[in-house]
Structure 1
């Protein structure tokens, strides 16, 4: 079996990956809105407002990374995801999950 060369046709893979990033961004937005709703459901204490601010910050970082990746995938020959971007996405996802557990418990 031959190894693909530098002139390899990527086909529709970048398009599928770009659409997957869009779906993930939409899902993250829904989770952030639901978390904000839950965080601000109480009396409006400073803790709740700080929690809401953290949620918004996490969501904005995720949107920034996702938008950069979506734009990059629109080019003819996209590069791989940078390690810093991958780490940012993982941290945002884990932070939202930890926040969700803190709100539930």
Structure 2
């Protein structure tokens, strides 16, 4: 029996495509939240802290776009995409939590 045989190439099926689409949906939802924050500023009834929160929301949105774009590109790199790095995952979580925090700051 030959134990040196190479394992067959894994066929991931449509899983990378579904994951790419999930990242794009998440990015769209994040964009909607950032646009609603900008709309809050357009209303004119926002304090100075609210303006700072909106500006920070825009920066967090840009950071999340960067993380998501890198992940979508990595998922399209081949039949077996690499696992998401821990710093990238932490950045995505931090952006999400920060956006929620800034939303609370705008409302209060």
TM-score (norm. length: structure 1): 0.84
Larger Rg: 2
Query: How many correspondences in the alignment?
Result: 101
Q: 2:34: which partner in 1?
A: 32
Choose from 96, 99, 104 the match for 1:101: 104
CA RMSD of aligned residues (A): 1.9
- Aligned twin of 1:65: 67
Higher relative contact order (CA 8 A, sep 6+): 2
- Deviations along 1:13-66, one digit per CA (max 9) or x if unpaired, are 000000100111111000111012224533676544322221110000000000
Cα deviation for residue 7 of structure 1 reads 2.0
Structure 1: stretches of 5+ with no match in the other structure: none
C-alpha contact (below 8 Å) 2:41/2:51 kept by paired residues: yes
